[in-house]
Structure 1
Amino acid sequence: MLNYGLDVSGLERDVALSDLVAEGDELDALVSAHADWADPTPAAGWTIAHQIAHLAAADANVLIAIRTPEAFDAVLKQAEAAGGGHADLEAAAGAAKPRSVLLDEWRAGRAEVAAALCDLPTEHGFPWYGSQLTATLMAPLRLMEVWAHGQDVFDAVGAARRPTDRLRQIATLGVIGRELSFHAAGLPLPTDPFRVELAGPDGRTWTWGPADAAQRVEGGVLDFCLRVTQRRSPAATDLTAVGGDARAWLDNARVFL
């Protein structure tokens, strides 16, 4: 996950919550209309049902962390005991449920998460994997995960996906999570500032960082989000990088461990 000590001033909880609801509704419409949830997705061994089960399980864990933070330690211990296969096991358990049951659980859970995050004071902390979190960061993190796993489903069914302004919050996560990308790759953290310029869905340019920064990343916001969520390789995007650190960032970009 992200280094939660980073500056999150570019994130907006209320905007992210509205976007989270819309993103969930869009994915819901797609999977509800698709007949076979056993269709494989780009994630090895994961069907459409696995993707939805993963989102439902994550929502359930968010609710535990917010409502009964003292019980979240058991969630952490279960994940540690399962090791690297925890997400696979959790998704498989959910995918084994009848489709109607899983769909109802996901719908109820995501609605409860949105409501719970809305009710929390923005800087109220609660436990998460390896850190304390706030609603200001969890809202866009949930948006990012729904969007990323939704992309797997869109790819699986071959459906076109229209980019929206919801990508801005995900792109901001990608920018503030730059240090995570270097840390995960075992690379030293750059000291120079970065400039990111991305073309939004309507052609406007969204920017982060000083305009005169030597390390620069440019391209479309959709491709940037696909890259930082590791849904596309750098070569499969329109992104360009100027500077060695910027190129290393694109090569290793991520917003989660």
Structure 2
Amino acid sequence: MREITDFHDEGKELRGLLETLSESDWQRKTLFKDWTVNDVVLHLHCSDISAAASARDPAEYEALRQKIMEVRKGGLSMIEESRLRFPDLKGRALLRRWWDQLEALCDLLATKNPATRLNWAGPGMGVRMFTTARQMETWAHGQEIYDVMGKDRIFHDRLKNIAVIGVKTFGWTFTNRKLPVPVDVPYVRVTGPSGEVWEWNDPTSGTSVEGDAVEFCQVVAQTRNVADTRLAVKGETAQRWMAIAQCFAGPPNDPPAKGTRFKARAA
């Protein structure tokens, strides 16, 4: 399944960056909720553990989810629970554990029928979309690390998987906030890193999002505010969507405020 290769390649590219970090770099605070680099990778690791549990057995996943929620009942945030669960997992030790788990997850997903539905924090997903969701989260959180390290990032056309999730979660973005879903679904036309043009929905809808595919993915994955991009957003529905777009599961999250997420200047 191509999506598994894309997920693995996304992780491999992030691993390449992480291997260049010093021990002190792992404690740098990113622009995402003041999480450190270590927090970001720990979060990805914990998410991959939950994903593997879901792929093995729905009951195992639900038991793990309930255990986590029980710990968080006292008011702990998601990352605080992860730190509590793995208090000594830091730096290069975390890097090795995260990478081993990611590879094991890829192997596990490869044994599944692509049509099989897997449980997750939001609506269940087929294996293909589930795998792309793991790629999306790895890519999105990876951006926080590229940003804080002031590193340029090379983008690839496997980003199209994330753009697809962004388009498919148009309705979810509104439903998740208990808002009526607009009937005029925006036309989306973006250009991938290779120059290939990707299009979805009706070009005569009267509302649209056009521009760079990287920037579209950054907005739907909430690594950038739409106002910090050059996307051409036309029509009320497209503007409302881009203002709250969320292509990942969980409760409603607001996008970063304008000007708050950016690449640091290299030292």
TM value normalised by structure 1: 0.89
The structural deviation recorded for 1:117 is: 1.0
User: Could you list the per-position Cα deviations for residues 98-136 of structure 1 after superposition, in whole angstroms to 9, with x for gaps in the alignment?
Assistant: 423211210111001111111100112232224433211
Question: Which ranges in structure 1 are unaligned for 5 or more consecutive residues?
Answer: 1-13
- Aligned pairs for 1:119-158 within 5 A: 119-158=111-150
Q: 1:31 aligns with which of 3, 12, 18?
A: 18
Find the aligned partners of 1:229 and 1:253 in 2 and give their Cα distance: 8
Q: Which residue of 2 aligns with 1:205?
A: 197
Q: Which residue of 1 aligns with 2:52?
A: 63
Find the aligned partners of 2:173 and 2:124 in 1 and give their Cα distance: 20
Matched, 1:44 2:36: no
Contact 1:79 1:86 (8 Å CA) reproduced: no
The structure carrying a bigger helix percent of its residues is 1
Contact 1:53 1:95 (8 Å CA) reproduced: no
Q: Which fold has the larger relative contact order, with Cα–Cα distance below 8 Å and residues 6 or more apart in sequence?
A: 1
User: Could you list the per-position Cα deviations for residues 138-171 of structure 1 after superposition, in whole angstroms to 9, with x for gaps in the alignment?
Assistant: 1100000000010011001010001210210001
Matched, 1:76 2:68: no
Q: 2:9 aligns with which of 13, 22, 26?
A: 22
Q: Which residue of 2 aligns with 1:188?
A: 180
Change (3 A) 1:76 1:15: same
Find the aligned partners of 1:208 and 1:92 in 2 and give their Cα distance: 40
Question: Which ranges in structure 2 are unaligned for 5 or more consecutive residues?
Answer: 251-267
Contact 1:50 1:95 (8 Å CA) reproduced: no
Find the aligned partners of 1:180 and 1:131 in 2 and give their Cα distance: 10
Find the aligned partners of 1:206 and 1:213 in 2 and give their Cα distance: 17
The structural deviation recorded for 1:189 is: 0.5
- Aligned pairs for 1:158-169 within 5 A: 158-169=150-161
Aligned positions, number: 244
Change (3 A) 1:185 1:50: same
Identity percentage of aligned residues: 29
Contact 1:179 1:189 (8 Å CA) reproduced: yes
Cα root mean square deviation, aligned: 1.7
The structural deviation recorded for 1:85 is: 4.0
User: Could you list the per-position Cα deviations for residues 178-197 of structure 1 after superposition, in whole angstroms to 9, with x for gaps in the alignment?
Assistant: 11221234432111232100
